[in-house]
Chain A
Amino acid sequence: MPEDFTTLCTIYQINPETFIQAFIEEVSFPTFYSRPTATDRWATFFFLNLLRKVDVSIHINQELEDEYVNKFNTALQSSFDRNGSDKTAAQSAGRRVMKDWMKAVVAERARYLTDYL
């Protein structure tokens, strides 16, 4: 455990597990992109920044990212168009696309492995 983190946790009496749980609950593209002015966006900012720092470009299929991110944007947009400012509906629509993206990524990885069998 890093010193600065434990110091803060001790001072403010926060259980490290509580902190991590709270943090990961706020990492979300659907929530982040449907509520651009909300104040609970830091965890997702952290995630986005991490993507830059570790340079995921080697591991990620850019074509899939392009395809699904565009689908994601469209889903959010059309949900807002249909349901007004209903953020929950937009988030569900976005979450469905994220799931499809994940499935596509996993299928792609499996294909990559089985092709060499």
Chain B
Amino acid sequence: METNVQQTVNHQLIEIPLEFRVACFISKIEVAEALQIFINHVTLYDTLSTEYVEGYSEASGIHETYVQSKGLTPVPGRGLTGCNELFVRSLSEVIKLTKAQKSTAAVKRKKSRSIVKVVFKAMKRVHTPSPTIYLDEETTIHLSEDFCLMCEIQNIYPKECLEYFMNSISLADGHARRDLQGAADLPLSLFLKIGSGFGRDPHTRVNLNDTEIDFFAEMNEKLLELRTVRNVEQRTNILREFYLSHYLNMNH
């Protein structure tokens, strides 16, 4: 007898792609920390502002790009229907802020945060019921008010956006292209920034064991040698295999 099982998608459970784990491992950063830095730099202010600010422009841009990639026609955020008037007013206040000449981006973003807070309190959190997301039993990431609001405006779940970000990261592909013309895309540029310390506690100490030191020496040599592999896909495959085997070797 067939039973009708209703399948529900767990919007809280995040799937972390293997290649993202590998990228984080090689960049010596925890998955949770990388995601938290991404979340912390998605803001309403930077989505509306045309000025480039390191990290914020990339993160807010990624959120935007994800929504565009879904190809949905914009509809009013379901969580905002109850406070639409307040939302529209706040939006125009933030737009005004982005155009203000006198203050710095940091000051304007701070002002924007207090505007966001008011909307955050008034809105219904349809897609972001909890400000905390569990990656596993012990690891959590915290959704900022800005990030929650951006999800509600666009009617997307944080899970979708975080998985989009993670799925866009391939260190092998990024490294394979580093000698070629054309800038890296937003997710990878942000990730490489995080990898080189952006948004992280400057006192974080990276400890490498002997196997890792050997790996990085070999990696640096391999990246140089690969100049004579002219096909990007081929280069990517060589590096992907190399990075993965290091990851598996260290995490078995």
Contacts and interface: CB of A to CB of B under 8 A. Distances in A.
Interface of A: 29, 32-33, 36, 45, 48-49, 51-52, 57, 65-66, 69-70, 72-73
A45 B179 contact: no
Nearest to B179: A52
Interface residues of B, number: 10
B89 to A, nearest CB: 49
B227 interface: yes
B230 A70 contact: yes
Contacts of B221: 45
Interface in B235-251: none
A69 B178 CA distance: 18
Contacts of B228: 29, 33, 69, 72-73
B227 A48 contact: yes
Contacts of B227: 48, 51, 69
Contacts of A57: 179-181
A45 B180 CA distance: 19
Interface centre among B178, B180, B227 (most CB of A within 10 A): B227
Interface centre among B180, B227, B228, B230 (most CB of A within 10 A): B228
A29 B225 CA distance: 10
B185 to A, nearest CB: 19
A48 B225 contact: yes
Given A57-B179, A57-B181, A52 B224 contact: yes
A65 B225 contact: no
B111 to A, nearest CB: 40
B172 to A, nearest CB: 17
B128 to A, nearest CB: 43
A48 B224 contact: yes
Contacts of A73: 228
Given A29-B228, A45-B221, A45-B224, 16 more contacts: A32-B225, A33-B228, A36-B225, A48-B224, A48-B225, A48-B227, A49-B224, A51-B227, A52-B178, A52-B179, A57-B180, A65-B230, A69-B227, A69-B228, A69-B230, A72-B228
A42 to B, nearest CB: 10
26 contacts: A29-B228, A32-B225, A33-B225, A33-B228, A36-B225, A45-B221, A45-B224, A48-B224, A48-B225, A48-B227, A49-B224, A51-B227, A52-B178, A52-B179, A52-B224, A57-B179, A57-B180, A57-B181, A65-B230, A66-B230, A69-B227, A69-B228, A69-B230, A70-B230, A72-B228, A73-B228
